[in-house]
Amino acid sequence: MPVSLRYLLLLLGLALVSGIAAIIVRDHQTTHRVRITAEQLTGGNTAAGKAVILRHGCGACHEIPGIPGADGRVGPSLAGFSRQAEIAGHLPNDPASLARWLRHPQQVSPGNGMPDQNIGRRDAADIAAYLYTLR
């Protein structure tokens, strides 16, 4: 193989690696920015929210991206939650409404399929923070 061809292949390989690295860095920065925004919006902690979701077994009924084993089909999928206009079909998708829904779903809409789980304020804020990272 001529030296010039090897040099060209090396340059193409370096360009490909650089492009992949740039995509990874951009994705990491976007994920970080989304997490920070969700935490500021809700006053919650996304990592704690994941743990609360696991502890309460939310994945038994809901499909929740990023939560191991959360592949339930009883309730709606929570993929893309942050882009939804409404919660449970009638509440505006804002942090206060979400916290209210998480804490007292049967008071908000009696007889709906979501049971009261005795979720406290802190846990509701943490769950909300995590859900608002789902795009």
pLDDT at 42: 98
Domain boundaries, the chain: 3-131
What pLDDT score was predicted for residue 16?
81
Question: What is the structure's pLDDT at 28?
Answer: 67
Domain over 3-131 is classified CATH 1.10.760:
yes
Q: How far apart are CA 119 and CA 55, in angstroms?
A: 11
Q: Look at residue 20 in the predicted model and tell me its pLDDT.
A: 85
Q: Tell me which residues of the chain have a pLDDT lower than 50.
A: none
pLDDT digits (tens, 9 = 90+) for 28-44: 677 889 999 999 999 99
In 3D space, the residue among 62, 104, 68 whose CA is nearest the CA of residue 84 turns out to be 62
127, 72 in Cβ contact below 8 A? Answer: no
Q: pTM of the prediction?
A: 0.82
Per DSSP, 104 falls in state -
State residue 27's pLDDT score. 73
